[in-house]
Structure 1
Amino acid sequence: MRRFLWLIPIAAILYAGYWVIGARGTEKAIESWIAARAAEGWQAEYSDVKTRGFPTRFDTVIREPQLADPRSGVAFSTPRIEILSQSTRPTRFTARAADEARFATPYQRIDVTQTRAEAELFVAAGPSLTLDHSSATLEDLAVTSSLGWGVTLDTGRFVTQRDAADPLTHRITLTAHGLEPAEGMMDSLDPEGRLTDRFDTFELDMRTRFDAPWDIHALEGPRPQPTHVDLTGLAAQWGPLKLRLTGAFDVDPRGYPEGTVAVKAENWREMIEIATAMGAIPEQMEKIALRAGGMLAGMSGRKDTIDAELTLRDGMITLGFIPIGPAPRLTIR
C-alpha cells in the first residue's frame, strides 16, 4: 500500500497543472476573441479577465466589457459578465450578467436592470462551441428605451433545443409572467383604462430553422438568420383581450415572412386600436382594419371574436381578403 502513496502527490500536482492550463486557456481565449474584434474595427474593451474556482471549477469574470459592432451598429456594455463551468464538464457553461446593462442601436439606447439574469449553455465538443440547448432565466427585469417606451417583467424563461435530425433547427419556448408596460406607455396605449396593468399570459412555442449554426462564429460575424418558422402557438391574454396565433411561414432573404398564420382574437377592436397606438398598424389603415375585422367576426358568429387567417406575402399582412399593413422584418442584428 505504501508504495502507491507517492502517486497521490503526483496526481495532485498533475491536476493542479491541468487546472492552471485550463484557467489560463480560458482567459487567453476570451482575450484573443476581444483582440480579434478590435482588429476588425469593433470597439472591444475590458478592464480585467480573471479565472478562479480551483480545484473543481473554472469561474471566469470579465469586468467592464464594452463591445460595439460597426456593421450592425449594435453596442453593449455592462459592469461584469461571469462565465462559470465545472472543470469536469467543459461543454456546459453558466453565464451571469451584472444587475445592469446598456444596449445601443442606430435608433435607440436601451437600459436594462434586473435582479437575476442567468443562462445555461450546453455546447458540442469542439472549437466552434456549437449550441445544443440552453435555458435563460430573468427576474425583476426593467427595460427603458431612449424612445420613451419601457416594460417590466417579474419572471421570464427562455429555452432552446437543437433538433438532432436537423442541426440548423431549434425549438424555442418563451414564458413571461408579470409583463407590464411602463405607466407612460399605458396612458398612450389605453387612455380609457380598459386593460389591466399587466399581461395575464404570454407564451411562445415555435421551431425555427436558421441559415447557419449558432456557435462562436455567430458572435464574430453575421448572425444566423431565420429561414422558416413553425409557430406551434403564441398565446397572450391582457385583461379582456385574448390572442392566439398558429401557423408556418418561410422568411425571405430580406427578412419578410411568407406564409399563413391562423389567428383567434377576442375583443379584437381594442387590439386594433392598441396596435395603431403602438404604430404596428398605420393610422390610415385603422378604419380599413376595423371594417375588415367586423366582416370576419360576423363570419365566425361572434361580433367580438375573429377566427381567420393572416396571409403574409410581399412584405404585407392581409387579414382574410383585406390588407392590414406592412409585415415585420424578422432579422437578427
Structure 2
Amino acid sequence: MRRVIWAALVLALIWGGWWIWAAQAARQATEQWFADRRAEGWQADFGGLDVSGFPLRFDAVMTLPALVDPETGVAVTTSGVTFSAPAWWPGDVTVRLPQDPVTFASPEGRATLDMDQAVAHLRLKPGSALDLEAAQVTSGAWSLSAHMGDVLSAADLNVSVQQVAAGQASYTVALNAAGLQPGTVPRTALRVPTNWPLTFDKFALDMQVAFDRVWDRRAIEVARPQPRSLRIDLAEAAWGDLQLRAAADLTIDAQGTPEGTLSLQARNWREMLTLAEAAGVLPSAVRPQAESVLSALAQATGDPRSINVDLTLRKGLILLGFVPLGQAPQLVLR
C-alpha cells in the first residue's frame, strides 16, 4: 500500500509539474506570438491572459485582444476571448466569443458582430504548424451591422469544416442558418419591395474546397490559403417567392478567376434578375438579352416562371451558351 501511495504522489507531482510548465509555455508562446506580429508591423495587443483549469484542463481568458493586419488593413477587436483544451492535448481547442460585440474595421468601413453563445471547436494536428483537421462553429441568434445600418442576422448558425484527408489542402464545408434575415442595407441596395418577407425560409450550403496549401497558423501569420477548386454539391436558398438551387464544379487560377460549370434552378427568375440588376451584378444593358434567352429556356421547361440551366465560366465571363451574362467573380481570400 505504501508503494502505491508513493507512486500516486510521484505521478501527481509529475503531472502537476507538467501542467505548470505547459501553462507557462502557453503564456510565453502567446506573448511571443503577439510580439512577432508587432515586429512585422501589425498592431497586436491584449490586456491580460489568465490560465486556470488545473489539473485536467487549460482554460485561458484573454482580455481586450486587438489585431490589425497592415497588408489588408483589417482590424479585429473585442472585450475578450476564452480558450479551453484538455491538458493531455491542447490541440482540441474550444473558443468562446464574448456576449458583447466583436468589432471589425477595414478600408471599406466598420462593422460589428453580435453573437449569442458563439462557440468554435477546433481539432488541430499535433506539431508546430497546427494544421486544421476539423472545425465546428455554432451560435444562437446573431447579427452583423455596419455604420449604414443592419446587414444580416439569423436565429442561429452552424458551420462544419472537415479536412478530406490528413495532410491534404481539401476541406468539406457545410453551413446552415435558420431565419436568415437581410438587413436594411442589402434590402435597400437590392430595392426589395417593402412587402417582401423579412427572413429566408431556407439557407444551406454543402461544398468541397481545395486550397493551394493547408489551413494552419500561417493563415494568420503570413497569408490566407487561396482556393484552387470548388465543388458545390448543394447551395439552396428560399426567400419569399424566390427559390434558388445551385451546384458547381470549378477550377480557380492563381488570380482567382474561376472556370467550369454552374448549374442553376431558379423559380421566379425575373424577380431575381431585377434584384441582380439593382445590386449591380447584372449590367442594365445586358438584361434584355439575358431575359430573352432565359425566357426561351423557361418556356422550354413548360413553366415560364422557372428555369433549369447550366452556365459556363470561362476567361473571366459567365456564359449561357455563347451569350455573355457578365463578369465572373474573383474568388480571392484577403
TM-score with structure 1 setting the length: 0.95
Describe how 1:135-146 pairs up with structure 2 within 5 A. 135-146=136-147
The residue number in structure 2 matching 1:252 is 253
The residue number in structure 2 matching 1:21 is 21
> C-alpha separation between the residues in 2 aligned to 1:149 and 1:326?
28
Describe how 1:22-41 pairs up with structure 2 within 5 A. 22-41=22-41
Residue 298 of structure 1: how far off its partner (Å)? 2.0
The residue number in structure 2 matching 1:198 is 199
> C-alpha separation between the residues in 2 aligned to 1:133 and 1:57?
20
| Segment drifting more, 258-267 vs 281-290 | 281-290
* Amino acid of the structure 2 residue aligned with 1:240: D
| Segment drifting more, 277-286 vs 223-232 | 277-286
State the number of aligned residues: 333
Q: Secondary structure at the residue paired with 1:41?
A: coil
> C-alpha separation between the residues in 2 aligned to 1:73 and 1:325?
29
Partners of 1:80 and 1:98 within 8 A in 2: yes
The residue number in structure 2 matching 1:72 is 72
> C-alpha separation between the residues in 2 aligned to 1:288 and 1:107?
33
* Amino acid of the structure 2 residue aligned with 1:222: A
| Segment drifting more, 181-190 vs 314-323 | 181-190
> C-alpha separation between the residues in 1 aligned to 2:234 and 2:224?
25
> C-alpha separation between the residues in 1 aligned to 2:189 and 2:247?
29
Describe how 1:164-203 pairs up with structure 2 within 5 A. 164=165, 167-183=168-184, 185-186=186-187, 189-193=190-194, 195-203=196-204
Describe how 1:278-297 pairs up with structure 2 within 5 A. 278-297=279-298
Q: Secondary structure at the residue paired with 1:164?
A: coil
Q: Please report the RMSD computed on the Cα atoms of aligned residues, expressed in angstroms.
A: 1.7
TM-score with structure 2 setting the length: 0.94
Residue 138 of structure 1: how far off its partner (Å)? 2.1
Describe how 1:78-93 pairs up with structure 2 within 5 A. 78-93=78-93
Describe how 1:85-104 pairs up with structure 2 within 5 A. 85-99=85-99, 100-104=101-105
> C-alpha separation between the residues in 2 aligned to 1:9 and 1:165?
39
> C-alpha separation between the residues in 2 aligned to 1:208 and 1:256?
15
Structure 2 unaligned residues grouped into runs of 5+: none
Residue 44 of structure 1: how far off its partner (Å)? 0.7
Partners of 1:189 and 1:278 within 8 A in 2: yes
> C-alpha separation between the residues in 2 aligned to 1:233 and 1:101?
30
> C-alpha separation between the residues in 2 aligned to 1:67 and 1:145?
19
- 1:242-270 deviations in Å (ceiling 9; x for gaps): 11111200111111211111111011011
Residue 295 of structure 1: how far off its partner (Å)? 2.2
The residue number in structure 1 matching 2:47 is 47
Structure 1 unaligned residues grouped into runs of 5+: none
